[in-house]
Amino acid sequence: RPRVLSGMQPSADSLHLGNYIGALRQWVAMQETHETFYFVADRHSITVDFDPAQLRHRTRATAAQFIAAGVDPERSTLFVQSQVPEHSELTWVLGCITGFGEASRMTQFKDKSAKGGAERASVGLFTYPVLMAADILIYQAHQVPVGDDQRQHLELTRDLAERFNQRFGRTFRLPEGFIPPQAARIYDLQDPAAKMSKSGSHPQGIVELLDEPGPLRKKIMRAVTDTGSEIRADKENKPGVTNLLNIHSALSGEPVPELEKRFDGAGYGTFKKELAEVVIDTLAPIRERAKELLADPAELDRLLAAGAARARAQASATLAQVRERIGFLAPP
Ligand code: ATP
Ligand code: MG
C-alpha cells in the first residue's frame, strides 16, 4: 500500500465544509487504499499570530473533527505535529541545504507577509516550506495530496530530497503530489469569488462542521445568489448558485445536471431549503461525535499520544539515518 501523509492547521475552532469536501472526506476514503498518516499541524500555526490557550483547544478540536468525520485512529497514524520532536531536527538539517534565494522565491511567504510587511513577518513563516518538507520526508511518504497553493512547496520538498540523496547517499523517498479526484473547491457563501477559508472568510460565509442546525440553515438561506432565478451551473455568470450546486452534489451524490433538471423552474428559496437539509444531515453526526470527543479531553489526549508514539517510531528511524549520513555523532 502506498503511504500517504496529510495535515491541517488548527487555525480555527471548527473546520469548514471546504476542508471536509476538499480533504477530510478523501482522507477517510484513502484509509481503504493507502497506509495513512494524518496530523494536526500546530507548528505551522505558530508562524503567524496565535494565542496559547486557543491553540491548545484548537489542536484538540481539529483532531476530534478528524476522528468524528471518520479518520480511525487504529487504522491511521493520527498525531499532533509538535508531539513528534524529530520533525524539528530534520527541519534544521534541511534548512542548511536550502538556498536563501530558493526559499525567498516561495510565493506563500510573499503573500502572507505582504499584509504586515516582510520586516514584521517571522522567520518561522519564512522557513515554513522547509518544515513542510521535513513533515513529508521524515515519513518516507509516497504520496501527498496537495491543493494549488501547496504545489510550489511540494516541488521544493522534492528538490531538497534529491539534493540530500545526491550529496549524502540515498535517504529519502521522493514524494508524488496528487489532487484527490472528488476534491471540489468550495467557495465563501458571501463571496463566491473567494475560497471558503478558516482564516479568511466572512463568518457568515463559512459553513462550519461544528455549526448547530439553526445557524447553519440561516447561513445557507442567506448565501448570495446571482441575478436571475435559474438554478444552473455557470461559474462565470452564476458563481453563487454554482457553488451551492457543487456543495449539494458533493454531499448528496446527485450529479449537478440532474439537480438542474429537478429544480428547473423552482426558485432559489426552494433549492436552498433542500440544500440546508442535505448539509445538516451530513454534518449533524460529525458535530455530535466531535462534541463527545471534546467532552473527554483526557481520552482524546491518550489517543493522540498513541498516534504520536507510532509516528515517532517511523520519524526517528529516518532521522537516525540522516544524522549518521551527515556526520553527527549518535545521541547518547
Ligand atoms: P487557513 O485559512 O488557515 O489557511 P484553510 O481553510 O485554507 O485554512 P487549510 O488548513 O489551509 O484550510 O487546508 C486544509 C485542507 O483543506 C487542505 O487540503 C486544503 O486543500 C483543503 N481546503 C481548504 N479550503 C478548501 C476549500 N475552500 N475547498 C476545498 N478544499 C479546501
Ligand atoms: Mg489554507
- pLDDT tens digit sequence for 105-115: 998 888 888 87
Mutate to test the pocket of ligand 1, among 5, 13, 17, 19 (most ligand atoms within 8 A of CB): 19
Residue 37: strand pairing partners: 5, 77
Q: Is the ipTM of this complex over 0.85?
A: yes
Catalogue the long-range contacts made by 89-94 (C-beta closer than 8 Å, 24 or more residues apart): 89/319, 90/134, 90/137, 90/138, 90/315, 90/318, 90/319, 90/322, 91/127, 91/130, 91/131, 91/133, 91/134, 93/322, 93/326, 94/130, 94/133, 94/134, 94/137, 94/160, 94/164
Segments of 272-330 assigned E as strands: none
Cell numbers describing residue 331: 545521541
In this structure, what DSSP letter does residue 329 have? P
Q: Residues lining ligand 1, CB < 6 A?
A: 8-9, 11, 18-19, 21-23, 147, 185-186, 195-200
3-state SS, residue 16: strand
Q: What is the pLDDT of residues 27-73, one digit of tens each?
A: 999 999 999 999 999 999 999 999 999 999 999 999 999 999 999 99
- Residue nearest (by alpha carbon) to ligand 1 atom 9: 8
What are 222-273's pLDDT values in tens digits?
999 988 889 999 999 999 999 999 999 999 999 999 999 999 999 999 999 9
187 neighbors 22 (Cβ within 8 angstroms): no
The pLDDT mean for the chain works out to 94
Are 134 and 87 contacting, i.e. CB atoms less than 8 angstroms apart?
Answer: yes
CA distance 130 to 137: 10
Using 50, 70 and 90 to split pLDDT, how confident is the model at 181? low
- Measured in Å, residue 261 CA sits from the centre of ligand 1 at 31
| 182 has pLDDT over 70 | no
Residue 147 is labelled as binding a ligand: yes
Residues involved in catalysis: 112, 195, 198
11 annotated to a ligand binding site? yes
Task: Report whether 241 contacts 175 (CB < 8 A).
Answer: no
Ligand 1 atom nearest 196 alpha carbon: 27
Answer yes or no: is 10 a known binding residue.
yes
Query: In the structure, what pLDDT confidence band is assigned to residue 193 with cuts at 50, 70 and 90?
Result: very high
Task: Give residue 327 CA to ligand 2 midpoint distance, Å.
Answer: 37
Q: Which residues of 288-313 are buried (b: 16+ CB within 10 A; e: fewer)?
A: ebbeebbeeeeebeebbeebbebbbe
Has 272 been labeled as part of a binding site? no
